[in-house]
Structure formats: structure tokens, C-alpha cells
Amino acid sequence: MDGLRRSLIYACAIYVGSYMNTVFKGYLLIIGSVSIVMGIIGMFVPDFTWYPAFENIERGTSAANFIRTMSGVFVASGYILIRFIFSSSKVQLGHVLIYLVAFMLVGKISGLFYEGFQFHDIITTTLGFFTLIGLIVIHKHRKNLLNYDL
């Protein structure tokens, strides 16, 4: 009876051993890679006809600029996901926020390049830069406060 139970556990799809861990890591790697590729395409391709849901969005509109900004968030999310898979250390929240804001700004600048300069976009880009600078300064300050004499 024990032999039957052991073979049943190994054959079960719910068994979360090293094989399922590898499967989940492979799945997350694919999702992270697709997020990075789709985000980069969304940021740097002049028109949106490559993606059916966005093919009716015209250049120079607020929606087009928003899509480019959110594409930066997709790139950052994919990068953080892949970094999480292959990193043995914990990814700190400060790093996550810095990556999200930095890639969002890359998408925002791409939107300014392709869609033109509108007052709202200039204000949000400026606020984004101030947010990024603030995150970097606070993160470095907190890092310097860590006590390594434990």
C-alpha cells in the first residue's frame, strides 16, 4: 500500500517538489519576458496597429501617451519578476519602487517624443522625476542606517 501511495504522490499534479518549482519558475520567466518585450514595443513603436486593442488610438492623444507610460510599468514589472526568479537575495521594496518609477519615466519620455508636448504631460513628467529623486535619496539614507554589527 505504501508503494502505491508513493507513486500516486509523485504522479499527482499537485505535488510541489523540485519539478513543480522549475515549472513555476519557467512560467514566471516567460511572463516576465513577454512583459518586457510588450512594454518595449509599446514604448518605442510609433503607432499601435501591432496590438488589436489599441489599433484605433491615434497618435498625439492622451490615451496614446498613457499607453506609453504604462508600457514602462510593464517593462519594470517584467524586470522585477525575472530578477525575483534568479536572485538569491530578497528584492527590497525601495528597489521595486525605483524601478517602477524609472521605467515609467522612460515610457513617459517616449510618449513626449512620439505624442508631443502637452502641459499635463510636462507636469507629470516633472513630478515623476522629483518622485524618482526622492525615492533614491530616501533609499540611500535608509541603507546607510542599517546596522551590520549584529
In a domain, 66, yes or no: yes
pLDDT of residue 18: 62
Q: How many CA atoms lie within 13 A of 45 on its CB side?
A: 15
In a domain, 69, yes or no: yes
In a domain, 1, yes or no: no
In a domain, 2, yes or no: no
pTM for the model: 0.70
Please state the separation of Cα 108 from the chain's center in Å: 15
In a domain, 58, yes or no: yes
In a domain, 9, yes or no: no
In a domain, 5, yes or no: no
The residue range of the domain holding 78 is 16-144
User: Does pLDDT of 14 surpass 90?
Assistant: no
Counting the structural domains of the chain, the total is 1
In a domain, 123, yes or no: yes
Say which range, 13-22, 122-131, 137-146, has the weakest mean pLDDT.
13-22
How far CA 111 is from CA of 12, 69, 104, in Å, comes to: 49, 7, 10
Inter-residue contact 63 to 116 (CB < 8 Å): no
Reported as a single tens digit per residue, the pLDDT across 26-83 is 888 999 999 999 999 988 888 887 777 788 888 888 888 888 888 988 899 898 888 8
* Strands (E) located in the chain: none
